[in-house]
Each structure stands twice: as C-alpha cells, then as structure tokens.
A and B are shown apart, each in its own frame.
Chain A
Amino acid sequence: MIRYALDPSGLNNPVSNYSRHIDRYVLSALLWCAAALPSDGQLLTDNDLAGLNAQLRDLRELIETASLPTTLIHFFLHHVRILEDALRNYKVRGPTAFVTAHVSAVQHIAVNHGLIERHKDDIEVRAASKRLADVWEWIEERVQDIETSHKALTYVAAGAAAVNGAAPHLLPIISGIANQLK
C-alpha cells in the first residue's frame, strides 16, 4: 500500500489518488511497528531544528558578507548547502541525514584542503571555519546513537585519512563525528 502511495509517475494527479492508499489501517500498522522496533536515533525537537536553521542562516550571512575570494565563498556555501539539505532530509531520513551530510562534507574538505591550507591564516577564513565547526559540534551533541552503515564508515575512514593536514578549525568536523561513528 505504501509503495502505491509513493508512486512518482503521476505527481500531477489529485492527492486523493495517493492518500486512499494511506488509510488508518496503514498508519496504525506503522505506529505499531514504530513501537515494536528499536529506536535508531535521538529525535531533534522543533526547537533544535529551529536553532539549527538559525545557525545556518547566520553562517550563510557571514560568508556572503565576508570579503573572501570567490573560490572560498563557493567552498563555504557548498558546506552550508550540505547542512541545509540534511536539515530538509531529516524528516524522512532521521539522524542518517546528518551521516550522509558528514560524508559529503569530509569528501569536499578532502578535495579542497589545499585551498583552505593556503588561506588558513586569513582572519575571515578562520572565522567562517570556526563557525562551521561550531555547527557540526552542535549537531554532534544532539544527534546521538546515529545508526551507522558500512558505506558511511568506509567513506569517513577514507575521508579522515585524506584530510590529514587540512585547516585546523575544520578538523573537529571530521574527528568528532568520525569518533562517534566508530
């Protein structure tokens, strides 16, 4: 029934074509499964989500108003987008959305660590890096007991090795959550 309700081939059809597959029996069954199966992560409250949203808004504003080289602006905005996507996906994916975001962030840092290294003494780069690391630490404090996957662990291990030598302020991003995933 759920798979019928999610068929993306007729998104222009009326919502009733889909919602008839989501009757009270389906929802009751899901609620029973939710109770019977173990929890796989800590639930972020609405306040937590609003707080993270506000932090990302501030970080975006800081980057957009800083007098950074264009390449660095793109670098930091890419990380903001990764986190914004994780926030949007949280409703569906739960804490796993932040695992995926973490993997993407580590990979991006690994690819661009030379760029950050060249500008690591720039005050504005240090400020933006610090703020980005603060956001990740904030997430790490709240998203506990993240369900791990072999794929995520593999990526994190490879990413942590690759970023050895990256900007000091970004290293807590890798080490903090990578330790949590072990």
Chain B
Amino acid sequence: MAVNYNSAYRLHTVLTEFAEQPAGTSALAAWSAVFGLRSDDKHHVWIQATAKLSLIFDEVDLLEVKMEGTTFPPET
C-alpha cells in the first residue's frame, strides 16, 4: 500500500511515536519526547506542548475537510 505524505500520514507518525512512549511517564513528558522539547522550566514545556497539540488539532480538522472533499470508491 503506497502511503502519501499528507495530514493523515503526519497524524499517524506523531501518534505512533506518542503511543510508543513508556507507559509510566506523564503525557507531558511523552509529548516533550515526541516534539523534542527541552527545558528545565516545566511551565515552559507545558506551554510548548499545548501549542504543539493545537497544531495537531489543526491537522485533524484538515484531515476531516480533506475526507469530506474526497470521492472514495464505492466499496470503501
């Protein structure tokens, strides 16, 4: 199956990486690892992680728009 580079692929890449983070860590630490955020100031990392999450929400919206605007084969 050929995979195209688009919003679905980007979401798949980011979410796969997040899901592979060790179960014992906090979500903040996991997102920091995924996005490569580095800072000793936890509040700073929190803000950065939230900003990155808002970008992913944008990608989800984009994916929804693309799916609504795409004509899929009848069997799908």
Report if A30-B11 is in contact (Cβ < 8 Å); known contacts: A8-B50, A14-B25, A35-B4: yes
Q: Give which listed residue, A19, A26, A36, A93, contacts B10 with CB less than 8 A.
A: A93
Q: Does A92 sit at the interface, judged by CB under 8 A? A: yes
Knowing A6-B57, A30-B12, A31-B12, the reply to whether A11 touches B3 (Cβ < 8 A) is: no
Contact between A34 and B19, CB atoms less than 8 A apart = no
Q: Tell me, rounded to whole Å, the shortest Cβ–Cβ distance linking B37 to chain A.
A: 8
Within 8 A of B (CB), among A31-64: 31-43
By beta carbon, the residue of chain A nearest B63 is A33
Do A92 and B55 touch across chains, with their CB atoms under 8 A apart? yes
Q: How far is the CA of A18 from the CA of B17 in the complex (A)?
A: 13
Question: 8 Å CB contacts to A: which residues of B34-72?
Answer: 35-36, 46, 49-50, 52-60, 63, 66-67, 70, 72
A92-B6 CB under 8 A given contacts A8-B50, A15-B21: no
CA–CA, A91 to B15, complex, Å?
A: 11
Output the least CB separation between A31 and chain B (Å): 5
Task: Give complex CA distance A42, B59 in Å.
Answer: 17
- Is there contact, CB below 8 Å, between A33 and B67? yes
Chain A interface bracket (under 10, 10 to 19, 20 to 34, 35 or more): 35 or more
Extra contacts, 9 of them, besides A12-B27, A14-B25 (Cβ < 8 A), are A3-B57, A3-B60, A8-B49, A8-B54, A12-B26, A19-B30, A30-B15, A37-B70, A91-B13
> Are the C-beta atoms of A91 and B18 separated by less than 8 Å?
no
Chain B interface: which size bin? 35 or more
Give the Cβ gap from B32 to chain A, nearest Cβ, in Å: 10
Q: Is A70 an interface residue (CB 8 A)?
A: no
Decide: B7 and A27 in contact? CB cutoff 8 A.
no
User: How far is the CB of A101 from the nearest CB of chain B, in Å?
Assistant: 13
Give the residues in chain B near A42, CB-CB below 8 Å: 5
Check A38–B35 contact: CB distance below 8 A: no
Closest approach, in angstroms, between the C-beta of A63 and any C-beta of chain B? 21
In the assembly, what is the distance between CA of A6 and CA of B56, in Å?
Answer: 8
Contact across chains for B26 and A13 when beta carbons are under 8 A apart: yes
Cβ-defined contact, A91 with B19, below 8 A: no
Asked if A22 is at the interface of the complex by the 8 Å CB criterion, the answer is: yes
A139–B1 Cα distance when bound, in Å, is 29
